[in-house]
Structure 1
């Protein structure tokens, strides 16, 4: 399988890009990933890259976007930060990826058993991590139930917070980026959420 070119990237709609990602995750979850010549793809992309998607995911070692979506070199812009949150620099990176480099879709990818989410549920703070936890605690506050056992030992609560954080991140992107909001309104890009199960490898998507 060859890496994307300017022509193949331009031929994709946001819906087609989404379908490619869904099919790639299905292959990954079934252990049927495509056999790629990665060095060949690197050579193909050496004079220019034309990724079709942006994936904002966690730094968790189990959530590599290229692997879980079964994509190769030159296919994805991958942004990783604990808790898959956004800040000004990440928004700027997304704007570049879509407005300048031609990506058709942004995926905000959370995952089960997220350590950053669990830390926010337990209100764990230290050093610079405190500022990141404070951002994630917005999602903690949005989850009203349960009233008790609101900590990392309650796996159901943790997963609800992780899901809420995905939707808050998407809303944050739309609210803070006029560039991406305009592209959405013109159907030039799509933004979707997804929850990756670290036990099965499957992603549940939210549109």
Structure 2
């Protein structure tokens, strides 16, 4: 290597070291004031949320972070999660910022499409993202006991449970579950073919079902409704688009 090349190489190395040092100092300063790892795109999220970080956040800030996470997911620029570090950091306690009630569909894993890590969110999954007694109790635990700031109901496009409710499908215990979705079918205003073969109608019913679930949570849980009235949490609906990957928030 020529001396000029060596000088250039050394200069580049010094520049890299300076950049890394600046990044490390920035992260340290951010953490010192209660910064949240989700707000550092492009850097590895090495640890789970702390109580101080979570408690300093407002429900609107939690929504904003989930939106940013979804944008990273859609852009293919997700954080470099160190899941082992997150596991270790959360082993002695958990301080999730949100609880997400979503569908069991294998194509809609909430943590992934919102680019969240271990310890960041509670996740409750049931076909058709309905709210029965047990799930309401789980949401109450997440918010009233564990301190989550957001209860997010997430539906998705092309939902099989929605199609089953439209068709009036009957199969063991699934029959009773689909009966809970049928009110959304009847309540959906739609000009066109009202069948499970019409994807637009299926998605319209799914959106109605999300909104009805949000209202059912408020109606059937005095605990959660009270927390929302006091401004301590928000109860919000959303829809995940299987094509394109966008999560639309109804907030």
Q: What is the TM-score normalised by the length of structure 1? A: 0.97
Residue ranges of structure 2 left out of the alignment (5+ in a row): 1-44
Instruction: Please give the root-mean-square deviation of Cα atoms over the aligned residues, in Å.
Output: 0.9
- Find the counterpart in structure 2 of residue 55 from structure 1: 100
Unaligned runs of 5+ in 1: none
Structure 2 match to 1:112: 157
Using CA pairs below 8 Å that are at least 6 residues apart, which structure has the higher relative contact order? Answer: 1
Q: Please list, as runs of the form range in 1=range in 2, the aligned pairs for 1:12-161 lying within 5 A after superposition.
A: 12-146=57-191, 149-161=193-205
Q: Hey, what's the Cα distance between the residues in 2 that align with 1:93 and 1:184?
A: 16
Please report how far the alpha carbon of residue 7 of structure 1 lies from its aligned counterpart in structure 2 after TM superposition. Answer: 0.7
Poorly superposed stretches of 4+, deviation over 4 Å: none
Return the alpha-carbon distance in structure 1 between the equivalents of residues 101 and 76 of structure 2. 23
Structure 1 distance, partners of 2:94, 2:190, is 45
Which has the higher Rg, Structure 1 or Structure 2? 2
Aligned partner of residue 79 in structure 2, secondary structure: coil
Give the total of aligned pairs. 206
1:191 aligns with one of 212, 220, 235: 235
- Please state if 1:170 is matched with 2:219: no
| TM-score computed with the length of structure 2 as normaliser | 0.81
More helix as a share of residues: 2
SS at match of 2:122: strand
Q: Deviations over 1:58-92 (max 9, x none)?
A: 00001111101100000000000000000111000
Supply the distance in 1 between the matched residues of 2:247 and 2:180 (Cα, whole angstroms): 24
Name the CA distance, whole Å, in 2 between partners of 1:191 and 1:25: 19
